[in-house]
Structure 1
Amino acid sequence: MQKADAGLPAGWEVRHSNSKNLPYYFNESQKLSRWEPPPGTDTEKLKTYMAEHHSAPEIRPEAGGANGNPGNNGKIRASHLLVKHKDSRRPSSWREAEIKRTKEEAMSIILGHEARIRSGQTSLGQLAVSESDCSSARKMGDLGFFGKGDMQKEFEDAAFQLKPGDVSRVVETASGLHLIER
């Protein structure tokens, strides 16, 4: 029943990695596992399934403390929403086995997300759960704490310029297009 609800091809199921605290895809008969959905996945069914069954209900302050917490050694905490395109470093995600959209199409999508966030219709975290191409979507886009040198330069520069609670404009990296919330 879980397989049909998730929109995965026959033999595939969603499992949870304890080491990475993220869901992954597993085929028992073939003994195959992968982070991206297998070819033939119904991505719309999968998006709905993952949002219902594999998303953090909230980001708990005790899971990482307040931004600027002493003891974070210069690290900040941020969440993001990623929209990949066919020229991204890895043009696949938990949502799509092969991403074929152009960079221009990805930009149009992320600008629509940004407009919804800035208008107050939704939050970055709520939107990331179903729309982000990063596996952090399950955690409302939360990347946890990171310091200088931990992320791609463009991402890091933008994230460190934000004040806690601020959302960036679109940031382009080799991974794709991001909106970042510190």
Structure 2
Amino acid sequence: MSTQETGLPPTWEVRHSNSKNLPYYFNASTKESRWEPPPGTDPEKIKTYMALHHSTAANPSSYSMGHSDKDGKIRAAHLLVKHRDSRRPSSWKEPEITRSKEEALGILRGYEKRIRGGELSLGDLATSESDCSSARKKGDLGFFGHGDMQKEFEQAAFALKPGEVSGVVNTASGVHLIERYVNSRKLDGDHRFRP
């Protein structure tokens, strides 16, 4: 991996966290590590590099299938668009996010239109467009229960019927679309769900 390929500044590289099963950025000189690209990263190059080398389909077998709606946990995916007023205005593809909240909403509504029109699934769009590191897992957040997520996110996710995609959800992290999984499993190749 070269800095020309990744768009990272010299001495920075992409590594993989075994504990989180996600890539992160590491400076070999200073030993600094971070989840978001360092300042000076070329946003287009890192976005392309990460999509090619660090995106994987959500793997249902990587989660315990013992969880279900009965034990109070659900499984969902999301697509996050951050803006300059987000609590951390940076992401795996952009070291500094400068768009306004209105611009973020416009972008997310465009994604929502494509999802509802059947052009792409939320997971497929999340892989390249989500500002959350869960993009590498098609937006899959795994199982979570009450109190595990920000209040607005949790309320929206738990209010969804299995297989349903939310409208725009605002949190301190940015603006989201959320998809609740059916019976906690993906069932067919185009990432639509059935009971």
TM band (smaller chain): over 0.9
Of 154, 157, 160, which residue of structure 2 is paired with 1:156? 154
Indicate yes or no: 2:24 matched with 1:9.
no
In 2 relative to 1, CA 166–66 (structure 1 residues): closer, same or farther, beyond 3 Å? farther
- Name the SS of the counterpart of 2:166 in structure 1: coil
1:39 corresponds in structure 2 to 39
The residue aligned with 1:90 is 88
* TM-score of the two chains, using structure 2 as the length reference: 0.87
Q: Report the residue type matching 1:148 in the other structure.
A: H
CA distance in 1, matches of 2:122, 2:129: 10
The one-letter amino acid paired with 2:17 is S
Q: CA deviation at 1:40?
A: 1.1
Aligned to 1:69: 68
- Structure 1: stretches of 5+ with no match in the other structure: none
Aligned pairs for 1:97-176 within 5 A: 97-176=95-174
Deviations 1:80-118 (A, max 9, x none): 000011111111111111111100000000001111111
For the 8 Å contact 2:37–2:92, the answer to whether it is kept is yes
Work out the CA distance in 2 between the residues paired with 1:59 and 1:32: 29
Per the TM alignment, residue 66 of structure 1 is displaced from its structure 2 partner at its CA by: 6.5
Q: Which residue of 2 aligns with 1:28?
A: 28
| Structure 2 equivalent of residue 59 of structure 1 | 58
Quote the offset at 1:60 in angstroms.
2.8
Q: Report how far residue 63 of structure 1 moved.
A: 2.7
Taking the aligned partners of 1:139 and 1:29, their CA distance within structure 2 comes to: 30
Counterpart Cα distance in 2 of 1:170 and 1:53: 29
**Cα distance in 2 for residues equivalent to 1:64 and 1:37:** 27
CA RMSD for the aligned pairs? 1.7
Q: Distance in 1 between matches of 2:101 and 2:110?
A: 14
- Give the number of aligned pairs: 180
The code of the aligned residue for 2:106 comes to: S
User: Secondary structure of the equivalent of 2:46?
Assistant: helix
Q: Deviations over 1:112-170 (max 9, x none)?
A: 11111111111111111111111111111110000011111110111011112111000
| 1:20-63 residue CA offsets vs partner (Å, 9 max, x unmatched) | 1111111112222111101111111111111111111x223323
Q: Which amino acid aligns with 2:137?
A: K
**Distance change >3 Å, CA 120–CA 66, structure 1 → 2:** farther
Structure 2: state its 5+ residue gaps.
181-195
Distance 1:68 1:22, change over 3 A: closer
